[in-house]
Amino acid sequence: MIEAWILRMDSLSLLVAVALLSVETVKDLILRHQPGKRFLETLASLSTQIPYILGELFFTTATVIVYFTVYEFVTPLAIPVTVGTLVLALIAADFVYYWEHRLAHQIRLLWISHAVHHSARVMNTAVAFRFGFFESPWAALIHLPLILIGFHPLVVFAAQVAVLVYQTWIHTELIGKLGVFDKVFNSPANHRVHHGCDAKYLDRNYGGILMLWDRLFGTYQAEEETPRYGLARDFDSVNPLKVWFSEYPALLRDLAAARSVAEVRGYLFKRPGWRPSS
Could you report the per-residue pLDDT of 25-82, keeping only the tens digit for each?
Answer: 898 888 877 778 889 999 999 999 999 999 988 999 999 999 999 999 999 999 999 9
Over residues 204-232, the mean pLDDT reads 97
- CA dist 178 → 81, 170, 192 (Å): 34, 12, 13
Q: How many residues does the chain have?
A: 278
Q: What is the largest CA-CA distance in the chain?
A: 60
Query: CA 35, CA 29: separation in Å to the nearest integer?
Result: 6
In tens, the pLDDT along 183-196 reads: 999 999 999 999 99
Within 8 A by CB and 6+ apart from 171, the residues are: 123, 124, 125, 126, 127, 128, 188, 191, 195
**So what's the pLDDT on residue 89?**
98
Phi and psi torsions of 59, nearest 5°: -65, -40
Query: CA 3, CA 161: separation in Å to the nearest integer?
Result: 11
Long-range contacts (CB closer than 8 Å, 24 or more residues apart) made by 82-91: 85/151, 85/155, 86/155, 86/158, 86/159, 89/146, 89/151, 89/155, 89/156, 89/158, 89/159, 90/159, 90/162, 90/163, 90/209, 91/210
- Answering whether pTM is above 0.85, one says yes
Per-residue confidence band for 126, with pLDDT thresholds at 50, 70 and 90: very high
| Nearest C-alpha neighbor of 155 from the set 53, 82, 230, 69 | 82
Are 153 and 64 spatial neighbours (Cβ–Cβ below 8 Å)?
yes
Over residues 156-182, the mean pLDDT reads 97
More confident residue, 34 or 159: 159
Over residues 120-132, the mean pLDDT reads 96
In tens, the pLDDT along 195-212 reads: 999 999 999 999 999 999
Per-residue confidence band for 247, with pLDDT thresholds at 50, 70 and 90: very high
**So what's the pLDDT on residue 276?**
93
Are 141 and 155 spatial neighbours (Cβ–Cβ below 8 Å)?
no
Q: Residue 179: pLDDT above 90?
A: yes
Per-residue confidence band for 167, with pLDDT thresholds at 50, 70 and 90: very high
- Mean pLDDT of the residues in the chain: 94
**So what's the pLDDT on residue 221?**
98
Q: How many CB atoms lie within 10 A of CB 63?
A: 22
Percentage, residues of the chain above pLDDT 90: 86
Are 158 and 85 spatial neighbours (Cβ–Cβ below 8 Å)?
no
Q: Residue 8: pLDDT above 90?
A: no
Over residues 245-262, the mean pLDDT reads 96
| Nearest C-alpha neighbor of 128 from the set 10, 271, 241 | 10
**So what's the pLDDT on residue 136?**
94
Q: Residue 1: pLDDT above 80?
A: no
Query: CA 55, CA 232: separation in Å to the nearest integer?
Result: 27
Per-residue confidence band for 14, with pLDDT thresholds at 50, 70 and 90: confident
